[in-house]
Amino acid sequence: MTKSLKEQNASPKKTRRRSQSSHEAILKATVELLEEVGYVRMSIEGIARRAGVGKQTIYRWWSSKAALVMEAYTTVVANKFPLPNTGKVQEDLETIFCPLFKVLNTTTAGVALAGIMTEAQNNPELAQAFRDQFVASRRTTIKKILSSGIKRGELREDMDLECAVDSFYGAMWYRLLLGHAPLDEDFAQILIAQLLQGIQS
Amino acid sequence: MTKSLKEQNASPKKTRRRSQSSHEAILKATVELLEEVGYVRMSIEGIARRAGVGKQTIYRWWSSKAALVMEAYTTVVANKFPLPNTGKVQEDLETIFCPLFKVLNTTTAGVALAGIMTEAQNNPELAQAFRDQFVASRRTTIKKILSSGIKRGELREDMDLECAVDSFYGAMWYRLLLGHAPLDEDFAQILIAQLLQGIQS
Amino acid sequence: MTKSLKEQNASPKKTRRRSQSSHEAILKATVELLEEVGYVRMSIEGIARRAGVGKQTIYRWWSSKAALVMEAYTTVVANKFPLPNTGKVQEDLETIFCPLFKVLNTTTAGVALAGIMTEAQNNPELAQAFRDQFVASRRTTIKKILSSGIKRGELREDMDLECAVDSFYGAMWYRLLLGHAPLDEDFAQILIAQLLQGIQS
Amino acid sequence: MTKSLKEQNASPKKTRRRSQSSHEAILKATVELLEEVGYVRMSIEGIARRAGVGKQTIYRWWSSKAALVMEAYTTVVANKFPLPNTGKVQEDLETIFCPLFKVLNTTTAGVALAGIMTEAQNNPELAQAFRDQFVASRRTTIKKILSSGIKRGELREDMDLECAVDSFYGAMWYRLLLGHAPLDEDFAQILIAQLLQGIQS
DNA sequence: AACTAACCGAGACGGTACGTCTCGTCTTCGC
DNA sequence: GCGAAGACGAGACGTACCGTCTCGGTTAGTT
């Protein structure tokens, strides 16, 4: 995600273009530092130093630390979990959430996402971008699965889709941010089962 | 929440004690600034300035900005919602969550909680304190309600209590932090109904 | 006197250079504050505030408050009193010391020098710099005058040059620092006369 | 030197008097810390800590760090060098200055004196006390020796006493504070000889 | 082949806030 | 009522980064 969505410069400019090597060095340094020191301890100055790059080169292309992190992780996390949506609802959901929880649990992706959410609390522009570019597509995936389930008659017609999606992702974020209990595959299965069946006897 | 739990000095110490007026002025300034500028823009220096207090007096009694905010809001939010737990499960849950969502939605309490969660991402000590002193008691309340429901035969015996609690509070935090949809009383009711009944047809 | 003597970078560096206006504003603020509040009451923060400059800009170029004061006064006091050394010893010495005492007496130069000497007591690096860059050249001037006097036969061959110089400057510093008696031109004349002739009958 | 000269309470009050042991512990801690960390690095807080005494107990009886140091050293240095004044001027002066230079050179007395002089630059009250209670008596001693010399015909009648004293003590302080050359007994002898005879051929 | 932007690294700049330190005063309690 | 203990308001310390702003130097496309 670069500085602006309006970057699609209608007129393909004539002069020197963005340095590919700097771009990569910056993203690499970002990922490394995120692992090493965590989100808030990671500074733009530190990234520039590590990447062997001028600060301005970072500010030129990204609007904030979080935008940087978002670019670094968006593609990685994004396209790893393609849409199944072909079998039963429960299986489809497990196909999505089990590996997702595992990745958040065992890599720095969790810290990165938590960092973005953190910064979004005080950066409305980033919050918007995060919702639009990252969260929305993942929510849509779940909604499609649930919608298919409704069509197939597996799920109630009167259910609240948004609320259901919030239940899944809410529980995930809650454990990710609060850390009071493990965010593992077992949890994914129980969560899915329990929401599908309800807890009423 | 002061710096240590051991403050209940069984031996009433001999020297000058904590200044009551400073203590109050600091908490007051904290609440005011939180409303005015938000969590991250609020600085310890600013609080000290506003409270007419030396910085050291803040550092002496609180370990971080978040600890300060936590003390300022813990009591306020905490004891406003006493345990109902006398009727049906659904009613009890609504008695808890409807006013809670409303408060988070319409006052600065939501921003404050989000700030604490934010800082907890990089302050393990605070994270622990937040879980132990704030989150735990609220989770316990819900667990009691659900347990009573199980005893009364309203809820399944084989349900996962922790997972159920995560579903409720997870959805709440998710909307609080991400802000993609309103955290209102309607949402509380739908969330409760849907989790109780499940979404399966 | 900037942070290093090696600043005469034979290779004219490439990046943004030191801001001339900031440099001047800092020296100006230093001199002003020295007059207004005295050496120890003068703080780096205060200088930065007065000069409209970031603290880091001061720390970048000077290692201490004293180094700052030294730069501010070195040139001023230094080159005002060129070497006479052409007539009789007594006249030459008076040409040096009379205006020097007057300046120390009637301007803030005295306070500044006292401040440097003060800080030098606890800053060996500064003490060295002060001796090398400030004191030494003034002592050398006097030694040249006295040496010429010896060659011309005006002064004894067996005199101790160092000790003689200490007698002149020692008396000056003593009155400057202790303030028990005026450091004026009369004193300069008596001091010179008395040391030249001795006090023995 | 205690806080006030008016402390000689004509009416020996009935209530608790100054604690002798605290008084001594404070002076002892002062001397120790002066040796260990030097004048400016020594703080009132540190002295109180070392002496096992409340800060207020120090502030009650001394007006500043320098006043403390002055009391600690005044008696020590003061009465060690009794007035000779019985032989020839040169011998008398050497009897005074040789051991004095040696003490300043080889003990912490030099650092202590330098510290007092340092603080006096920014504490007029202390400066006055230092001149009156410490410097004056030492100057008087020298003046008496010189006066005797004049009476005996050893020294010129038209000499400037003040200026002569400044020459001796000035050179001493100059070497003590600047440290450009040793302040030893050889220097004392040369200084005395040279000032007595003059440097003119 | 020369021109000419834009981009690059480097890092100085005015600032804010950090968390620590010490100051000199104020308050409490025990002896 | 003195003295230890230490909390208090104050404010400077030196550091870390912020985001902006020059600097030359280095690339690419045009021309």
Confidence of residue C3 (pLDDT cuts 50, 70, 90): very low
Strand F neighbours among D 53-72, CB < 7 A: 53-57, 60
- Nearest by CB to residue D38, choosing from C40, C122, C166, is C122
Q: Does the pLDDT at position C7 exceed 70? A: no
Tokens of C146: 């006295």
- Measured to protein CB atoms, the chain F nucleotides within 7 Å are 1-30
Q: What is the pLDDT of residue C19?
A: 92
Of C120, C155, C181, the CB nearest to D200: C155
CB D130 within 8 A of CB D70: yes
Place of tokens 């929510």: A139
Give the count of alpha carbons within 13 A of B106, CB side only. 8
Q: What is the nearest CA distance from D183 to chain C, expressed in angstroms? A: 11
Work out the percent of chain C whose per-residue pLDDT is above 90: 50
C-alpha to C-alpha distances, D163 to C92, C167, D128, D152, D169, nearest whole angstrom: 20, 11, 20, 20, 10
C-alpha distance from A8 to closest chain B C-alpha (Å): 27
User: Above 90 in pLDDT, residue A162?
Assistant: yes
Least confident among A92-96, C67-71, D12-16, D96-100? D12-16
Distance in angstroms: CA A18, C1' F30: 18
Q: Residue A200 and residue B197: Cβ atoms within 8 Å?
A: yes
Residues of D in contact with C182 (CB under 8 A): none
Q: Work out the minimum CA distance from C16 to partner chain D, whole angstroms.
A: 38
Q: Is B121 within 8 Å of B72 (Cβ atoms)?
A: no
Of D117, D122, D175, the CB nearest to C41: D122
How many angstroms separate the CA atoms of A117 and B120, rounded? 12
Work out the average pLDDT over B44-69: 94
Residues of chain D found within 8 Å of residue C200, distances taken between Cβ atoms? 154-156, 196-198
Q: What are the angstrom distances between the C-alpha of A153 and each of A85, C25, C149? A: 15, 79, 118
C-alpha span between C43 and B76 (Å, rounded): 43
Which of chain D's residues have a Cβ under 8 Å away from the Cβ of C114?
A: 121
3 state SS for chain B? CCCCHHHCCCCCCCCCCCCHHHHHHHHHHHHHHHHHHCCCCCCHHHHHHHHCCCHHHHHHHCCCHHHHHHHHHHHHHHCCCCCCCCCCHHHHHHHHHHHHHHHHHHCCHHHHHHHHHHHHCCCHHHHHHHHHHHHHHHHHHHHHHHHHHHHCCCECCCCCHHHHHHHHHHHHHHHHHHCCCCCCHHHHHHHHHHHHHCCEC
Over pLDDT 90: what percentage of chain D? 31
Q: How far is CA A57 from CA A3, A156, B156, in A?
A: 12, 53, 58
> Does residue D156 carry a pLDDT above 80?
yes
Overall average pLDDT of the B103-128 stretch: 88
Q: What is the mean pLDDT of residues B173-178?
A: 98
pLDDT exceeds 80 at position D86: no
B120/A121 Cβ within 8 A: no
Mutate to test the interface with B, among A185, A199, A200 (most CBs of B within 10 A): A199
Q: How many residues does chain C have?
A: 201
pLDDT at B3 over 60: no
Give the integer Cα–Cα distance in Å for A166 and B169: 11
Residue type at C95?
T
Q: What does DSSP assign to residue C38? A: -
Q: Is-contact A66 A1, C-beta < 8 A?
A: no
Bridge partners of residue D200, in order along the sequence: C155
- Angle (nearest 5°) at CA C94 between C92 and C100: 115
Contact assessment for residue B137 and residue B78, using Cβ atoms and an 8 Å cutoff: yes
Question: If you average pLDDT over every residue of chain D, what do you get?
Answer: 81
Burial of residue B5 (CB within 10 Å: 0-12, 13-18, 19+) is exposed
C140-159: average pLDDT? 90
The token pair that represents C121 in the structure block: 């007591």
- Kindly list the residues from chain A whose CB atom is less than 8 angstroms away from the CB atom of residue B160: 190, 194
Question: Which residues does D196 contact at the CB level (< 8 Å), separation at least 6?
Answer: C198, C199, C200, D89, D90, D155
Q: Does D172 touch chain C (CB under 8 A)?
A: yes
CA distance from start to end of chain B: 47
- CB distance C141 to D160 below 8 Å: no
Percent of chain B with pLDDT over 90: 54
Cα C155 to its chain centre, rounded Å, is 27
Q: Does A35 touch chain B (CB under 8 A)?
A: no
- Please indicate whether chains A and B are in contact, defined as at least 3 beta carbon pairs under 8 Å: yes
CA distance D59 to chain C (A): 20
The answer to whether B160 faces chain A, any CB pair under 8 Å, is yes
pTM: 0.80
CB-CB contact of B36 with B46 (8 Å) = no
B62 touches strand F (CB under 7 A): no
With 50 as the cut, is the pLDDT of residue B91 above it?
A: yes
| Residue D151 in contact with partner chain C when CB distance is under 8 A | no
Q: What is the C-alpha to C-alpha distance for residues A188 and B145, in angstroms, rounded to an integer?
A: 24
pLDDT at A8 over 50: no
Q: By the 8 A CB rule, do A11 and A53 touch? A: no
Closest-approach nucleotide to residue D16, Cα vs C1' = F2
CA D92, distance to chain mean position in Å, is 19
**Residue C89, SS3 per DSSP:** helix
CA distance D47 to D72: 13
Q: Give the mean model confidence (pLDDT) for residues C30-47.
A: 90
Per the document, the length of chain B is: 201
pLDDT higher than threshold 50 for residue A6: no
For residue B35, give the nearest of B108, B101, B92, B94 by alpha carbon. Answer: B108
C128 touches strand F (CB under 7 A): no
The one-letter amino acid at D14:
K
Cβ–Cβ < 8 Å for B57, B99? no
- Mean pLDDT (chain A) is 85
Cβ < 7 Å from strand E, C residues 54-73: 54-57, 60-61
The nt closest to A48 (CA vs C1′) is E9
Q: How wide is the angle at C-alpha C37 spanned by C-alphas C101 and D5, nearest 5°?
A: 85
Q: How far is A2 from chain B (nearest CA, A)?
A: 21
D 181-200 near C (Cβ less than 8 A): 181, 187, 190-191, 194-200
- Give the pair of three-digit tokens for residue A113: 């996402």
Distance in Å from the first CA to the final CA of chain A: 47
Task: Identify the band that residue A79 occupies on the pLDDT scale cut at 50, 70 and 90.
Answer: low
Is the C-beta of residue D15 closer than 7 Å to nucleic acid chain E? no
Q: Determine whether the interchain pair C166/D155 forms a contact, defined as Cβ–Cβ distance below 8 Å.
A: no
Segment A23-37, tens digit of pLDDT:
999 999 999 998 889
Average pLDDT score over residue span D70-95: 73
C35 to chain D, any CB pair closer than 8 A? The answer is: no
Taking the C-alpha atoms of residue C68 and residue C79, their distance in angstroms, rounded to an integer, is: 18
Nucleotides of E under 7 A from a protein CB: 4-30
CA-based nearest residue in chain B for residue A168: B167
Sort out which chain A residues have CB atoms less than 8 A from B114's CB and list them. 121
CB C90, CB C196: distance < 8 Å: yes
Residue A75 banded pLDDT, cuts 50, 70, 90: low
Residue A2: the pLDDT is: 46
Q: How many CB atoms lie within 10 A of CB D7?
A: 9
| Pairwise CB contact (< 8 Å): D174 & C173 | yes
CA distance B161 to B173: 18
Chains A and C touch (3+ CB pairs under 8 A): no
| B182 or A112, greater pLDDT | B182
The band of D94, judged by pLDDT with boundaries at 50, 70 and 90, is very high
Which B residues in the span 44-63 are in contact with A, Cβ-Cβ below 8 Å?
none
Helices (H), ranges, D62-108: 65-78, 89-106
**Cα distance between residue D69 and residue D32, in whole Å:** 11
Provide, rounded to the nearest whole percent, the portion of chain C with pLDDT above 70.
Answer: 85
Residue appearing with tokens 């007698």:
C167
Averaged over D12-32, what is the pLDDT? 71
Provide the 8-state DSSP code for A10.
Answer: S
Residue C10 has pLDDT above 50, yes or no: no
pLDDT, greater one: A151 or A174: A174
Contact A114 B135 (CB under 8 A): no
Torsional class of C4: left (φ above 0), alpha (ψ -120 to 50), beta (otherwise): beta
> Residue B168: closest CA among chain A residues belongs to which residue?
A167
pLDDT at D102: 94
Give the tens place of pLDDT for each residue, A123-140. 888 898 899 888 998 999
- Cα(D136)–Cα(B106) distance, integer angstroms: 76
Closest CA to B170 of C163, A168, C179: A168
Specify the higher pLDDT residue, A185 or D126.
Answer: A185
Closest-CA distance of chain B to residue A80, Å:
23
pLDDT at C55 over 50: yes
Q: Which of D135, D170, D198 sits opposite C170 (nearest CB)?
A: D170
Distance CA D195, CA D160 (A): 12
In this complex, is the C-beta atom of C3 within 8 Å of any C-beta atom belonging to chain D?
no
Interface contact C162-D181, CB threshold 8 A: yes
Residues C36-42, mean pLDDT to the nearest whole number: 87
